[in-house]
C-alpha cells in the first residue's frame, strides 16, 4: 500500500516532468573563429537574438564569443600575375615580391615574437571560451542544440569526439555558412556535418531549388528561392545518400554552363541526434532586415526569407517542428 509521502513524491515528480516538457529548449550559440572571421558575424548574432526573442519554445542560454585578443599578421605577399601577363606586369610583381621579402624580414625581427606571444594567449583564451562545449558541460547545462554561426578554423574544442557523440546521442547541431570551413581535418566533425568547404568563386546571383518544400527549413519559401547575390560554397565529401536536401542548385553558380547537383542546405539524422546546415550566410544583407543597411543588394524580403529558413532549421533540429530527415538523393 502506498503511503501518503510516496504519493506526494510521485505527484511532485509528475509535476516536475510536465514542467520540464513545457520548458523552452536550451540553445548555445558559438561565433568563435580561428580562421577567416566574417564581418557578417555581428549581424548573425543580432538575427539569432531576434529569433530567440520571438520564439517562446526555445531560448539562447549561452553565447560563446571571440576572445578580445588580436594576433598581428605577417605582410601579405603580392598576388601572382596571370600566366599570360606581359613583361610590365611581371616586372611590377617582381618589384612587389622583393618589397614583401624585405617586409617579412623586418616583421620576423620586430613583430613575430609579439605575434607568437599573442597567438599563445589567444589559444589559451579560446580554450577557456569553448569550455561550455565540453560534452559534460552540455549535459550539465541541459543544452538541447548547439549553433555554429560562421565559425571557422581549427577550434580547440575540449573533446571533439565527445562533442560528435553528444550530437549522436540526441543533441542537435545547426551550422551556417563557414560552419563547413571549421575543423575541416577533424573526421568526427566532418562526418557528422557530411560536407567540407571546398572553396568559392565571386559572389553571384543564385537560383535555388527546393529539395523538400514542405520541410520547416524550407522556410515556407516554396519551390524556387532567388538570391540577388551571395557567396556560394562548393562542398566536397558530401554524400547525398545520408542527407535530406533542402535547397540546391542545378549547376555550379560560377560555371553556369556545367549542369550538376550543387548542395546548398540539408538536414540529416545522426544517430539519435539531428543536424541542419546551410551554406548561406556570408552577406550582411542576408542576416539583417534593416532596409537602410549600407551596400544592401538582397532586398529585405530575401533577408526575411533567410531568417525563416534559419528559424525553420532550428525548430526542426530541436524537435519543435515536424519534418523528414530521410535522404532524398533522387532530388534533381
Q: How do residues 46-57 score in pLDDT, each as one tens digit?
A: 999 999 999 999
- Which pTM value belongs to this model? 0.89
Residue 241's pLDDT band, with cuts at 50, 70 and 90, is very high
Does the residue 105 lie in any domain? no
State how far the Cα of 255 lies from the Cα of 200, in Å rounded to an integer.
11
Tally of CB atoms within 10 A around 201:
13
Single out the residue of 106, 47, 51 nearest to residue 75, CA to CA.
106
Tally of CB atoms within 10 A around 286:
29
Q: Is the pLDDT of residue 283 over 80?
A: yes
Does the residue 6 lie in any domain? no
Burial class (CB in 10 A: 0-12, 13-18, 19+), 241: exposed
- The residue with cell 539524422 is 269
pLDDT tens track for 85-139 = 899 999 999 999 999 999 999 999 999 999 999 999 999 999 999 999 999 999 9
Specify the higher pLDDT residue, 171 or 81: 171
| Grid cell of 21 as nine digits | 516538457
| Grid cell of 231 as nine digits | 557567396
pLDDT for position 18: 42
Does the residue 223 lie in any domain? yes
Report residue 247 CA to chain centroid gap.
16
| Grid cell of 186 as nine digits | 577533424
List phi, psi (to 5°) of 58.
-150, 155
Q: Give the residue-averaged pLDDT of 136-155.
A: 98
Partners of residue 209 on adjacent β-strands:
224, 248
State how far the Cα of 33 lies from the Cα of 12, in Å rounded to an integer.
45
CATH number of the domain bearing residue 158: 3.40.50.880
Residue 21's pLDDT band, with cuts at 50, 70 and 90, is low
Residue 325's pLDDT band, with cuts at 50, 70 and 90, is very high
| Residue range(s) defining the domain that contains residue 294 | 22-72+116-317
pLDDT for position 63: 98
Does the residue 78 lie in any domain? no
Does the residue 46 lie in any domain? yes
Does the residue 151 lie in any domain? yes
Single out the residue of 157, 217, 144 nearest to residue 189, CA to CA.
157
| Grid cell of 324 as nine digits | 523528414
pLDDT for position 195: 97
Q: Indicate the number of domains in the chain.
A: 1
Does residue 217 contact residue 246 with C-beta atoms inside 8 Å? Answer: yes
Residue 77's pLDDT band, with cuts at 50, 70 and 90, is very high
Does the residue 91 lie in any domain? no
Residue 30's pLDDT band, with cuts at 50, 70 and 90, is very high
State how far the Cα of 132 lies from the Cα of 158, in Å rounded to an integer.
9
Does the residue 94 lie in any domain? no
Amino acid at each position: 500500500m502506498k503511503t501518503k509521502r510516496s504519493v506526494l513524491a510521485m505527484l511532485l515528480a509528475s509535476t516536475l516532468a510536465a514542467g520540464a516538457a513545457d520548458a523552452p529548449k536550451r540553445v548555445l550559440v558559438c561565433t568563435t573563429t580561428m580562421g577567416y572571421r566574417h564581418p557578417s558575424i555581428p549581424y548573425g548574432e543580432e538575427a539569432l537574438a531576434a529569433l530567440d526573442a520571438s520564439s517562446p519554445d526555445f531560448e539562447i542560454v549561452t553565447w560563446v564569443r571571440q576572445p578580445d585578443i588580436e594576433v598581428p599578421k605577417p605582410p601579405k605577399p603580392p598576388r601572382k600575375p596571370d600566366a599570360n601577363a606581359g613583361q610590365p606586369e611581371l616586372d611590377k610583381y617582381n618589384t612587389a615580391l622583393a618589397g614583401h621579402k624585405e617586409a617579412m624580414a623586418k616583421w620576423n625581427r620586430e613583430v613575430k615574437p609579439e605575434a607568437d606571444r599573442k597567438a599563445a594567449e589567444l589559444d589559451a583564451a579560446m580554450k577557456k571560451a569553448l569550455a561550455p562545449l565540453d560534452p559534460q558541460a552540455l549535459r550539465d547545462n541541459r543544452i538541447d542544440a548547439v549553433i555554429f554561426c560562421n565559425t571557422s578554423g581549427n577550434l580547440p574544442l575540449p573533446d571533439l569526439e565527445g562533442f560528435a557523440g553528444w550530437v549522436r546521442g540526441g543533441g542537435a547541431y545547426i551550422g551556417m555558412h563557414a560552419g563547413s570551413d571549421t575543423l575541416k581535418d577533424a573526421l568526427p566533425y566532418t562526418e557528422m556535418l557530411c560536407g567540407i568547404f571546398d572553396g568559392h568563386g565571386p559572389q553571384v546571383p543564385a537560383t535555388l531549388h527546393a529539395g523538400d518544400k514542405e520541410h520547416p527549413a524550407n522556410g515556407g519559401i516554396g519551390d524556387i528561392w532567388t538570391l540577388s547575390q551571395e557567396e556560394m560554397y562548393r562542398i566536397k565529401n558530401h554524400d547525398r545518400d545520408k542527407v535530406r536536401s533542402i535547397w540546391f542548385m542545378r549547376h555550379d553558380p560560377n560555371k553556369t554552363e556545367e549542369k550538376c547537383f550543387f548542395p546548398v542546405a540539408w538536414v540529416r539524422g545522426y544517430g539519435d541526434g539531428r543536424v541542419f546546415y546551410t551554406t548561406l550566410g556570408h552577406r550582411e544583407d542576408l542576416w539583417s532586415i534593416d532596409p537602410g543597411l549600407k551596400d544592401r543588394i538582397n532586398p529585405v524580403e530575401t533577408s526575411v526569407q533567410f531568417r525563416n529558413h534559419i528559424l525553420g532549421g532550428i525548430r526542426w533540429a530541436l524537435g519543435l517542428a515536424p519534418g523528414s530527415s530521410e535522404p532524398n538523393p533522387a532530388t534533381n
